[in-house]
Each structure stands twice: as structure tokens, then as C-alpha cells.
């Protein structure tokens, strides 16, 4: 019986040694690490992070460049004019010719032999402006179906002509031109030049050029802000109230 116990203990020792076996090598540990369902979840974790980053970048791109909900196109158009109360749309520069005659008198009689004449050529500048502060919602009409925005402009304002008398050229003729006569001729020429500049600035041909420039300026001032605001290619039709 003692022999049997010794044999049993010997067999248990061999079994324990067999169960313990040699220590696992680096290769076997590596294989064990990459086997089983737990190691599969570890391998997929970086991909989840990448997918989250891609989704976040896509959301940021959509917020920045994606389509926006468009607001009131009339309010957007009025906002484009809000920062500039007056818009200079056209400027005309031209020369004005004026001529005056002075005849001195002796008693009740004029002496034609002492008559003097002065001509003046002076450059003048006139500007044509739109008072945008007068415009309200009634000046805008939006057609959603045709994507047309109709704009009615207030009348053009013509500034007072600016006579550049520093660059004026004078031509004087006469046997004798006194100081008083010279001053009188210059004053009279300036008055004539101003009136002729006003008449020239308001003639139909120049006003037509100014209106064309005004329509083009308003179209450009509205088309670009509307495109930036997301309205696309809007057709802006501009006219004056009396057209």
C-alpha cells in the first residue's frame, strides 16, 4: 500500500510538471494577445476614433459651406444700401465758354471806341447722385417664381457745378480795359459760366448717360451681396419712377 502511495505521489508530481510546462515564449504571448474576441475590439478602436473625426469635420464643413436658410431678399437688398446714404453714380467734366462786353460811358453817351471784351473758358465738374436714404420696401418688388428683383430708384440729384476758375483761360480785347471794367467782365463771365454749366448738366443727353450709369451701379451693388447671401443668380431690374 505504501508503494502505491509513492507511485500516486510520483504520478501527481509528473502531472504537475507537465501542467506547468516550460514558460511561454515571446512569440506565443504575441499570438495569444492577438487571438480571441477581446483582441478584435482592441484592433477596431482606432477606426472608431477616425470615423468620429471624419464625421466632426464633415459637420463643420456643412456648417461653413453648406446651404443656409435664406431670409428676406428685400431686407438683404436694403441692408446693402444702409451703409451708404448717397451713391455718386456719374461725374461729368466739361469746359464752359462765357463772353462779356463792357462799354464805358461819358455822361449819358456810351463810347464804343473804348469798348472792351473778355472771353473765358473754364472747366466745370458736375456729379449725379442717388439719395438711398429715401428708399424703403416700396421701392423693391421680388418675384420668387422668376427670380427677378425690381428696383425703383428715386430721382437723380445733380450737384451745383464746380467751376475751376483757377484753371480758367481769359482772352481780353480792347484799346483800354480799366480795373473796374476787368472786375465787371470777370464777374459777369462767372455768372454766365455757372448758368451754362447748369443748363449743360441737365440736358437730356447727359441725363440719359447719368441714368444708365445709375442703373448699372445699383445692379452691381445688389447682385454681389445677394449672391454672397445665397440667393444665386438673381436678375436685378432697375428703373426710375418716371420711366
Same domain, 228 and 117: yes
Same domain, 106 and 59: no
Q: Per-residue pLDDT for 107 more than 70?
A: no
Query: Distance (Å, rounded) from C-alpha 223 to C-alpha 76?
Result: 11
Domain final residue pick, 38, 65, 92? 65
Same domain, 175 and 234: yes
pLDDT at 80: 61
Same domain, 53 and 91: no
Same domain, 120 and 152: yes
Q: Per-residue pLDDT for 66 more than 50?
A: no
pTM of the model: 0.62
Same domain, 96 and 118: yes
Question: Which cell numbers hold the place of 129?
Answer: 447722385
Domain final residue pick, 65, 84, 103? 65
pLDDT tens digits along 16-46: 344 444 444 444 444 444 444 444 445 556 6
Query: Distance (Å, rounded) from C-alpha 147 to C-alpha 84?
Result: 25
pLDDT tens digits along 189-209: 999 999 999 999 999 999 999
- CB count in 10 Å sphere of residue 228: 10
- Estimate the crossing angle of helix 73-82 against helix 204-228, to 10 degrees: 120
pLDDT at 110: 63
pLDDT tens digits along 199-242: 999 999 999 999 999 999 988 888 777 777 677 778 899 999 88
3-state helix, strand, coil in the chain (%, to 5): 50, 25, 20
Same domain, 195 and 229: yes
Between CA 80 and CA 88, with CA 86 as vertex, the angle to 5 degrees is 105
Same domain, 77 and 145: yes
Same domain, 86 and 165: yes
Same domain, 57 and 80: no
Nearest CA among 91, 221, 94, 89 for reference residue 155? 89
Domain final residue pick, 65, 83, 118? 65
Dihedral sign for Cα atoms in the order 140, 146, 147, 148: negative
Q: Look-up: residue for cell 461653413?
A: 64
Query: Which domain, by its residues, includes 128?
Result: 73-240
Same domain, 51 and 77: no
Number of domains the chain is built from: 2
Same domain, 167 and 94: yes
Backbone angles phi, psi at 216, to 5 degrees: -65, -40
Amino acid at each position: 500500500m505504501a508503494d502505491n502511495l509513492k507511485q500516486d505521489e510520483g504520478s501527481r508530481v509528473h502531472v504537475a510538471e507537465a501542467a506547468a510546462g516550460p514558460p511561454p515564449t515571446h512569440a506565443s504571448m504575441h499570438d495569444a494577445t492577438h487571438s480571441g474576441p477581446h483582441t478584435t475590439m482592441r484592433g477596431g478602436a482606432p477606426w472608431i476614433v477616425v470615423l468620429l473625426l471624419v464625421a466632426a469635420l464633415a459637420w463643420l464643413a456643412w456648417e461653413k459651406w453648406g446651404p443656409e436658410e435664406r431670409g428676406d431678399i428685400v431686407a438683404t437688398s436694403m441692408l446693402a444700401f444702409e451703409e451708404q446714404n448717397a451713391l455718386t453714380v456719374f461725374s461729368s467734366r466739361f469746359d464752359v465758354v462765357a463772353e462779356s462786353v463792357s462799354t464805358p460811358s461819358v455822361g449819358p453817351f456810351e463810347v464804343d471806341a473804348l469798348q472792351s471784351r473778355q472771353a473765358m473758358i473754364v472747366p466745370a465738374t458736375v456729379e449725379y447722385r442717388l439719395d438711398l436714404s429715401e428708399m424703403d420696401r416700396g421701392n423693391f418688388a421680388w418675384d420668387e417664381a422668376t427670380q427677378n428683383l425690381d428696383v425703383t430708384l428715386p430721382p437723380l440729384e445733380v450737384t451745383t457745378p464746380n467751376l475751376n476758375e483757377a484753371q480758367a483761360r481769359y482772352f481780353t480785347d480792347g484799346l483800354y480795359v480799366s480795373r473796374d471794367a476787368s472786375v465787371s467782365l470777370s464777374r459777369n463771365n462767372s455768372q454766365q459760366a455757372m448758368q451754362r454749366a447748369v443748363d449743360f448738366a441737365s440736358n437730356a443727353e447727359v441725363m440719359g448717360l447719368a441714368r444708365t450709369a445709375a442703373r448699372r451701379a445699383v445692379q452691381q451693388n445688389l447682385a454681389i451681396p445677394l449672391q454672397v447671401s445665397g440667393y444665386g443668380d438673381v436678375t436685378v431690374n432697375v428703373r426710375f419712377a418716371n420711366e
